[in-house]
Structure 1
Amino acid sequence: MASARIYQRPKNAMQSGRARTDRWVLEFESNEKQRPDPLTGWAGSGDTRAQLRLNFPTLEAAQDYAAREGIDVHVVPAPERKLKLQAYADNFR
């Protein structure tokens, strides 16, 4: 049976907006250990499910898909937003 995790994408440190952070992602966990390629030395495996990422608008939609397809999932809770409120005048103290 396949195993996966469902999580909500956090805001990237390089972006100011919150675009696509409301979507939920289902990501499969790799069943094989990664091994270096003899020619290039890059790490890889034969498990192609580890390359697959599915986006869903809600957590319930992702859980319904996993239940329908027989995928064992665990949900990673969304990180709590930390607001750093400061005034422009604080730069000159």
Structure 2
Amino acid sequence: MNDVNLKTLAWFSNNYYRISKKDKIGTYKYTDLRYPMLNPDDINTFVFNFTVFFEDNEWDILSFNGNPPSKEGFELFLERLKGI
């Protein structure tokens, strides 16, 4: 990995990350795997995930456009955090 921006993301994730293609062409989902999912039944609820894209010879991140977790999802997260 030679791109400074991707190296920074890898550093942020302590090299525990996954990159997958998104539906929109040219965009990828960068997921930090060190933190749990808010809802263990929904793979799209990782705490830290970013949409990355390549433009002008560098990788960049799109602004967050998701929704805050639901009350039920957050309660599941707290239960898992406590080890219940």
What TM-score comes out, normalization by structure 2 length? 0.23
Pick the structure with greater CA Rg: 1
Higher relative contact order (CA 8 A, sep 6+): 1
What TM-score comes out, normalization by structure 1 length? 0.22
